[in-house]
Structure formats: structure tokens, C-alpha cells
């Protein structure tokens, strides 16, 4: 009897140890959300679009404040002067060709941004994933030789652009190594793979990643961020329509 009791206690302690090592789905999602949080960001961006055997390189300068405000100005010769402003949940564009500011809305938000594999809507998501999705931990997995946690997210709202997401989170450092976005029908629409992370001010920050829009034949876009500066104060005037038109 004593032996049995000892065995049960041993089993219980091993199990509790194991469970203590496995984070919950909510904890993992909170960790992913936390990685995205910064007060401000400034960077030089590069977007390499490979589409139907052609390669297009676009460069831009970007500013961001939290998840709500961002400003991008394209600097490559072909697109020089095109500026985007995201503020108050709305996206504006300034086109030097027409010298006009226009609000991008409706179905246009679902279209490709500057020919990339990312849509305007993809850039508009302000709220954290935890507030928009119910996570389910599917368990451990190995991705490119690294141990990861697989997380499935199901949208709380029916209006979410991607009703289902799959996330692969590095077990060691919490990096979001890969995610896949699905339509309501279950069809996979897009996939993202993290390429490179830099430690900036003691924080791991994703600076290079690749997005593929699977509805576009032979297409992928690599986003590269250089000269990233985090949490340096940015003037309010940056995130204004006046700055778009300047």
C-alpha cells in the first residue's frame, strides 16, 4: 500500500513539473503580443517583392507610435513621395502625381499594398491578438530544427479578416517564427516566416521576414527593417495629414 501511495505521489509530482514547464495558450499569446509592443519606432524599410519572376525593390522611411499611429514615406525613385498615414483607425495616402490625400477604405483595404503580398488591412490591425482571438495550444513541434509551440487562434468576431491563424512560437525566446492565415472556408491565404531578429535595447525585435500571399501565383515579399530606433519621442506633427501633404 505504501509503495502504491509513493508511486502515485511521484507520478503527480512529475506531472505537475511537466505542466509547470508548458505555458498556457493565453500566456503564449500574451508573449507574442508583448513582443509587438513599443512606444515609438523609427526605421528605414526595404520591401523586396518577387512576383512572376520579376523583382521590385522599394525603400521607405517609417515612423510608428504604439500600434495606432504610423507614417511611411517611400524613397525609391519610382515611388518617391508616396506617403501613407495610419491614424485613428483610418488609412490615408498621398499621391504626388495627383497631389491629393485620399482615404483608403472599403474593399480597397483588402488589396495589395504597393504590390506587396501584404494588404492594407494587414497593416491596419491595431488591437492585440489576445483581444481578437481565442487561442488553443496544439502542443510542441519542431520548426527548422528549433522547438516551438504550435498555437491555433480562432477569431472571436465574425468580421475578422482571417478567422483562423496558426502560430509557431519559439520555445526558448518567444519569437513568432511563423504564422499562417486562413479564410473562413479553411483555405490558407497567407504565410509568414521570420528570417532575422535583432536585439535592440535589450529586446528581441523581428527585423526581417517573408510574407507569401498564396492567392498570388509565384509571389513573395521580404520586409527588411534597418536602423531601428525604439522608444525615441516622435512629434505629434508626424502623424498628421499636413505631414502627408508637405
Partner 1 sequence: MNNEQLGIENKYKQGGTATLIKIAYRNIWRNKRRTIFCFAAVGVAVFFIVVYSSMIEGMIKSINDTVQIYELGHVRVVSSTFEAEKEYLPVQYPVADGASWRELAASISNIPGVRHVFPRITTFASLQESTIKHAILWGINIADEMAANNFNLTDRSDGLIEGRWPAPGGNEIAIGRVFAHKSGMTIGDEIFLRTTSAHFSDRFWSPMITGIFSFDYIKIDEQYIIADFERLQRLLALGEGTQSLVIFADDEKQSASITAAVQNLLGNDNVVTEWSDNYWVAVMRMVMPLYTIIFLIFLIVASFLIINTVVMIIHERIKEIGMMGCLGMTRNEIVKVFFFESIFMAAFGAFAGVIVGGIVAGIFSEYPIRMGDLYGNTFAEMPMSQSIFLAFNFFILIRAWIMGVVVASLFTLIPSIKSAFVEPVEALRR
With the C-alpha atoms ordered 78, 213, 158, 156, is the resulting torsion angle positive or negative?
negative
Q: Around Cβ 234, how many Cβ atoms within 10 Å?
A: 18
Check if the beta carbon of residue 40 is closer than 8 Å to that of residue 234.
yes
Q: Residue 107, interface with partner 1 (CB under 8 A)? A: yes
Smallest distance from partner 1 to CB 65, Å: 24
89 belongs to the binding site for partner 1 (CB under 8 A): no
Cβ closest to partner 1, residue 21 vs residue 52: 52
Q: How far is the CB of 73 from partner 1 (least distance, A)?
A: 13
Is 111 near partner 1 (CB under 8 A)? yes
Mask for 33-72, x = binds partner 1 (CB under 8 A): ----------------x-xx-x-x-x--------------
**Is residue 41 within 8 Å of 229, Cβ to Cβ?**
yes
| 16 near partner 1, judged by CB under 8 A | no
Contact pick of 25, 93, 176, 224 for partner 1 (by CB under 8 A): 93
Minimum CB separation of residue 233 from partner 1 in Å reads: 31
For partner 1, the binding residue among 30, 48, 108, 138 (CB under 8 A) is 108
Q: Per rule CB under 8 A, is residue 114 in the interface with partner 1?
A: yes
Residues in CB range of 39: below 8 A, 6 or more apart: 65, 66, 230, 231
Taken in order 120, 121, 124, 128, the sign of the CA dihedral is negative
Minimum distance of partner 1 from residue 100's CB (angstroms): 6
Q: Would you mind telling me the total number of residues written for the chain in this entry?
A: 246
8 A C-beta contact, residue 169 and residue 151: yes
Amino acid at each position: 500500500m505504501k509503495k502504491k501511495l509513493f508511486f502515485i505521489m511521484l507520478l503527480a509530482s512529475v506531472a505537475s513539473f511537466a505542466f509547470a514547464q508548458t505555458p498556457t495558450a493565453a500566456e503564449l499569446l500574451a508573449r507574442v503580443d508583448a513582443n509587438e509592443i513599443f512606444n515609438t519606432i523609427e526605421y528605414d524599410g526595404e520591401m523586396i517583392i518577387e512576383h512572376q519572376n520579376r523583382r521590385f525593390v522599394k525603400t521607405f522611411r517609417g515612423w510608428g507610435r504604439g500600434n495606432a499611429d504610423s507614417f511611411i514615406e517611400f524613397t525609391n525613385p519610382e515611388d518617391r513621395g508616396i506617403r501613407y498615414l495610419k491614424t485613428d483607425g483610418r488609412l490615408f495616402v498621398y499621391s504626388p502625381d495627383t497631389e491629393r490625400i485620399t482615404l483608403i477604405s472599403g474593399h480597397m483595404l483588402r488589396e495589395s499594398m504597393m504590390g506587396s503580398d501584404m494588404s492594407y488591412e494587414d497593416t491596419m490591425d491595431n488591437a492585440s491578438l489576445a483581444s481578437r482571438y481565442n487561442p488553443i495550444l496544439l502542443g510542441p513541434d519542431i520548426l527548422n530544427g528549433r522547438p516551438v509551440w504550435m498555437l491555433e487562434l480562432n477569431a472571436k468576431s465574425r468580421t475578422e479578416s482571417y478567422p483562423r491563424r496558426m502560430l509557431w512560437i519559439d520555445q526558448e525566446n518567444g519569437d513568432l517564427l511563423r504564422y499562417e492565415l486562413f479564410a473562413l472556408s479553411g483555405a490558407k491565404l497567407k504565410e509568414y516566416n521570420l528570417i532575422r531578429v535583432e536585439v535592440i535595447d535589450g529586446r528581441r525585435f523581428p527585423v526581417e521576414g517573408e510574407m507569401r500571399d498564396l492567392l498570388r501565383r509565384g509571389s513573395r515579399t521580404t520586409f527588411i527593417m534597418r536602423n531601428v530606433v525604439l522608444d525615441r519621442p516622435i512629434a505629434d506633427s508626424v502623424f498628421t495629414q499636413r505631414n502627408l501633404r508637405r
